[in-house]
Amino acid sequence: MEPLTIGQVAREAGVGVETIRFYERKGLIEEPPRRESGYRQYPREAVSRIRFIRRAKELGFTLKEIDELLSLRASPKSRCGDVRERAEAKIDDIEQKIRALQRMKTALEKLTAVCSGRGSVTDCPVLEAMED
């Protein structure tokens, strides 16, 4: 198979060129060899790896966690249970964030309920509550 340019990889993976360079700097994808012209020559597998990274990010995994998942995926000693543990930990993390967001929403609802929306901002109960 013919190698791909960084632009081709970016288009096929649905990311920007700078994203690919960023993933290289973070060690999530290997920097490919270069042609004599200096252009990078990516293997087709780079598209799959970048799509994996993008999907994992969409599920809320951090780049560090994604790196761990990629390491598990590459290791023949890894077990599906290892991946499941990380996914369950991510679920717990997401649930904590949801609870925190719900608390913020409730607090803002209470503040906006006491604000008439009229008058000077110097008397705004929402702003006053943030000063306390």
| Residue pLDDT tens, the chain, 132 long | 788 999 999 999 999 999 999 999 999 999 888 888 878 899 999 999 999 999 999 999 999 999 999 999 999 999 999 999 999 999 999 999 999 999 999 999 999 998 888 888 888 889 988 886
Q: Give the containing element (helix H, strand E) for 43.
A: none
Report the alpha-carbon distance of residue 60 to residue 127 in Å, rounded.
Answer: 32
Task: State residue 98's pLDDT score.
Answer: 98
CB atoms within 10 A of CB 40: 19
d(CA 4, CA 35): 11
